[in-house]
Amino acid sequence: MSQTFDELDYYEILELHPNSSYQEVEEAYQLAKKSFHPQSSALYGILAQDQAQDFYKTIEEAYHTLIQPRRRQEYDQILRRTDANEARLLTNQKLGATQLKSVPQIKNEIPNWALEEESFSGAFFQKLRHHKGLTLEDISHKLKIKKSYILAIESEDFESLPSAVYVRGYVKSIASILGLDSEKAANQFMTHYK
Amino acid sequence: MRERLQKTKHTFAIGSGKGGVGKSLLSSNFGIHCSKKAYKTLIIDMDLGGANLHTYLDFRPTPTRIDLWNPREPESILKTISSTAFPGLDIIVGSDELLASQIESASIELLVYEIMKLDYEVIIFDLGAGVGPETLIPFCAVDTPVLLSTPEDTSIENAYFLLKKAFHFKLRQVSKELGYEQGIQEIINKPLKKFSTPSDLLKYIGGSEQFPGFNSKMKELSPGILLNQVRSFNEESIGPSMAQVCRHYFGLDIISVGLIQYDSSMWVASRKNKSKMMNYLDLKFCGQMSSVFQNLLKSVTFNPQRNKIRA
């Protein structure tokens, strides 16, 4: 655990409310990962590199605990009766240390060809997903969205999709996991949706 | 400040620690924006030694400058105010002669206090570069300090430096105001307890129960971070990331108030003809600037009577 922020619990680390949804955990993780990545410009002149690296590991740990329902439940119960440091130790003792590699790590960077994207078509999402080495299963597992819906979004097969309000939510989540501006991507994609 | 200012006004300070990141451009346009929204607005150039905010407003320098203020006659502040070409927007022109180092901190504090008492609805301090008292005093005194940076490492580093200095300045100010000077000093000097971040220190103070009200006073210093000259998609997340890093590091409620993209044609236009800037808000580019200004004004709680009058 990072010595710099060693009194923070996992919710405080990701700036979340204890009742946050899994989608909110995912979004908070994406922002925290960008902010505290050892190469992040936002750390320049404020945290030493070893402090940043330690804290980055803690963010990963927080995410992998809060995104897994059983682990989160266990952690919540322990946290109610003890402090942040002990809650982390006891959770790890009971369920084993977090398996950081079991969930695919997503590449942070956005390739140059994707930076100029304006239309955010289904084909674009698919191309970027392939670039990041993610399978349909990875996305479906992470976001709890049916594989068939992700595929339908990527092929713009609108007839196989539910109503617009759901599709918009799915596209936002997919865009966010791919490291895109989710609001802009969803707005643009929905202009194709009929 | 020494007494609670009536909440029919809201005060801002725009600082960066570094020169050339766009403070005066932002401040002048924010002033124009507020005056166009029918707020009676005053903008003050706190650059005591190289002032040029008036130039951004296409305002010819006049003998009416901040130099006319005399600490022995506090009401002389009224003599320093000039009107601009914009209805409802007044300015206190900065000095190009006064050197900040020649003015005592106490006088600057009095000056800021006198300005904040003036009869305006929005007061904007455009701060100079550096971290002297003429920057720290208004930055810590206003309702909404704004920390301006660009995505460059040097700019981010200087912005954080200003924030660190402001944190310590505020810490001293609040300790003194609440009579905790000795107690807080003892905590900071504890040989066995090392605080790795300001946030650790605040958490310790908050948990000790000896200093009621200390942390809530400290949290009055909660700047908005504004990122200027953003050139790529990757840079768009730097402002929110800086705010998040600062929230963890300082333990203060620091938020991102938006970003403004780099627009080379706009800057060329501004150099050719200063008065072009007066039309900023009509240009597409200004959509972002305008949304930043709206964000800043969101935090403002004016006298409810005012809206009735306007309606």
Residue B4 forms part of a structural domain: no
Q: Is residue B29 part of a domain?
A: yes
Domain that holds residue B31: 10-297
Task: Answer whether residue B127 is part of any domain.
Answer: yes
Same domain, A20 and A83: yes
Contact B156 A36 (CB under 8 A): no
For B8, B39, B229, B302, B311, the CA distances from B307, given in Å and listed in that order, are: 11, 11, 35, 8, 6
Residue B126's beta-bridge partner residues? B14, B45
Which of A6, A12, A41, A50 to probe the B interface (max B CBs under 10 A)?
A41
Query: Is pLDDT above 60 for B284?
Result: no
For residue B253, pLDDT beyond 50: yes
Percent pLDDT > 70 in chain B is 81
In-domain check, residue B3? no
CB contact under 8 A, B196 and A109: no
3-class SS letters over B78-129: HHHEEECCCCCEEEECCECCCCHHHCCHHHHHHHHHHHHHCCCCEEEEECCC
Å from A113 to nearest chain B CA?
Answer: 12
Count structural domains, chain A: 2
How would residue B267 be classed by pLDDT, with cut points 50, 70 and 90?
low
Task: Examine residue A180 and state whether it is found in any structural domain, yes or no.
Answer: yes
Our CA-based measurement puts residue A2 at a distance from the nearest CA of chain B, in whole angstroms, of 11
Q: What is the mean pLDDT of residues B10-29?
A: 90
Residue-wise pLDDT for B101-151, tens only, equals 567 788 889 999 999 999 999 999 999 888 999 999 999 999 999 999 999
Rounded Cα distance between B27 and B47, Å, is 13
CATH number at residue B284: 3.40.50.300
pLDDT exceeding 90 applies to what percent of chain B?
46
- ipTM confidence score: 0.81
For residues A75 and A126, membership in a common domain is answered with no
Long-range contacts of the stretch A101-104 (C-beta < 8 A, 24+): A103/A64, A103/A67, A103/A141, A103/A142, A104/A133, A104/A134, A104/A138
The proportion of chain A whose per-residue pLDDT surpasses 70, expressed as a percent, equals 91
Instruction: Summarize the confidence of residues A116-123 as an average pLDDT.
Output: 85
Closest by Cβ to B244, choosing from A4, A7, A32:
A32
* Model pLDDT, residue B4: 38
Whole-number Cα distances in Å, B9 to A182, B292, B301: 37, 19, 8
Query: Among residues A39, A68, A95, which one ends one of the domains?
Result: A95
Residue B302, domain member (yes or no): no
Residue A4 to residue B197, Cβ atoms within 8 A:
yes
Q: Are residues A14 and A87 in the same domain?
A: yes
pLDDT band at A32 (very low <50, low <70, confident <90, very high): very high
Tell me, yes or no, whether A105 lies in a domain.
no
Range of the domain at A63: 10-95
Structurally, chain B folds into a number of domains equal to 1
Q: Which two tokens stand for residue B124?
A: 């904007």
- Length of chain B in residues, anyone? 311
Whether A132 is in a domain gets the answer yes
- Rounded CA gap, B140 and B173, in Å? 9
Q: Which residues contact B238 (CB under 8 A, 6 or more apart)?
A: A41, A42, B151, B156, B227, B230
Q: State chain A's mean pLDDT as an integer.
A: 84
B23: in domain? yes
A149: domain CATH number is 1.10.260.40
Q: What is the pLDDT of residue A146?
A: 87
Question: Residues of chain B whose C-beta is under 8 A from some C-beta in A?
Answer: 151, 153, 156-157, 160-161, 196-197, 199-200, 203, 232-234, 236-238, 240-242, 244-249
Do A61 and A128 fall within a single domain? no
CB-CB neighbors (< 8 A) of B196 in chain A: 3-4, 51
- Look up residue A103 and give its DSSP letter: S
**Averaged confidence pLDDT in chain B:** 83
Q: What is the pLDDT of residue A98?
A: 67
Least confident among B27-31, B235-239, B275-279: B275-279
Give the model's confidence band at A135: pLDDT under 50 very low, under 70 low, under 90 confident, else very high: confident
pLDDT value, residue B98? 61
The count of other CB atoms within 10 Å of the CB of residue A163 is 7
Query: Which residue from A7, A46, A181 is facing B249, i.e. has the nearest CB?
Result: A46
Could you tell me if residue B293 is inside a domain? yes
Q: What 8-state DSSP symbol labels residue A41?
A: G
Q: What pLDDT score does A106 carry?
A: 55
A3 lies in some domain:
no
**Does residue B100 surpass a pLDDT of 80?**
no
Burial of B308 (0-12, 13-18, 19+ CB in 10 A): exposed
Cα–Cα distance for residue pair B237/B222, rounded to 1 Å = 20
Residue B80 has pLDDT above 80, yes or no: yes
The pLDDT tens digits of the residues spanning B191-218 come to: 666 788 899 899 889 888 889 999 999 9
Q: Which of B245, B261, B288 to mutate to test the interface with A (most CBs of A within 10 A)?
A: B245
Residue B171 lies inside a defined structural domain of this protein = yes
Pair of tokens at residue B206: 């908050």
**A151 shares its domain with A91:** no
Q: What is the CATH number of the domain that holds A91?
A: 1.10.287.110
